[in-house]
């Protein structure tokens, strides 16, 4: 984050959006949210993730993933339309603020977090 930006968890009222977000906010569409929640469900089933938060702000939408709800998010999946032409609108940011992956396609960006099935040999 740059100086002057607020963290989504620091917004008044928890910063979570509702199903009917105001028109001046960036949101995830149904396809994007379906892909993110599909990954989230697999990671919960694997026991790696336990909670999430969604924040809709004027300049970006953020899906934060927590190992425990009392901690800081381990990953943030962000959609920032201002960066759509340059680096890509989607990014995955780690807890330390490091951008793990950024791109134009959500599926490619989420591959940084998706471990996928493992081949086990005997």
Cβ neighbors of 84 (< 8 A, separation 6 or more) are 104
Residue 88: which of 66, 67, 112 has the closest Cα? 112
Q: What per-residue confidence (pLDDT) applies to 116? A: 64
Which of 29-33, 48-52, 65-69 is least confident?
Answer: 65-69
Question: 3-class DSSP state for residue 99?
Answer: strand
Partner residues linked to 44 by β-bridges: none
pLDDT tens digits, one per residue of 58-85: 999 999 999 887 778 999 999 999 988 8
Average pLDDT for 86-114: 91
Distance between CA atoms of residues 102 and 78, nearest Å:
9
> In the predicted model, is pLDDT for residue 10 greater than 90?
no
> In the predicted model, is pLDDT for residue 19 greater than 60?
no
Which one has a higher pLDDT value, 20 or 33?
33
Q: What per-residue confidence (pLDDT) applies to 5? A: 55
> Do the Cβ atoms of 68 and 50 come closer than 8 Å?
yes
């Amino acid at each position: 984050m740059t100086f002057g930006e607020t963290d989504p968890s620091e917004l008044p009222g928890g910063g979570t959006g509702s199903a009917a977000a105001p028109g001046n906010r960036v949101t995830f569409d149904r396809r994007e949210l379906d892909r993110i929640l599909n990954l989230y469900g697999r990671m919960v089933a694997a026991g790696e993730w336990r909670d999430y938060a969604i924040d809709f702000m004027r300049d970006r939408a953020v899906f934060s993933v927590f190992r425990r709800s009392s901690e800081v998010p381990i990953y943030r999946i962000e959609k920032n339309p201002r960066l759509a032409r340059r680096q890509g609108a989607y990014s995955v940011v780690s807890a330390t603020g490091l951008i793990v992956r950024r791109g134009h396609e959500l599926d490619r960006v989420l591959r940084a977090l998706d471990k996928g099935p493992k081949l086990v040999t005997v």
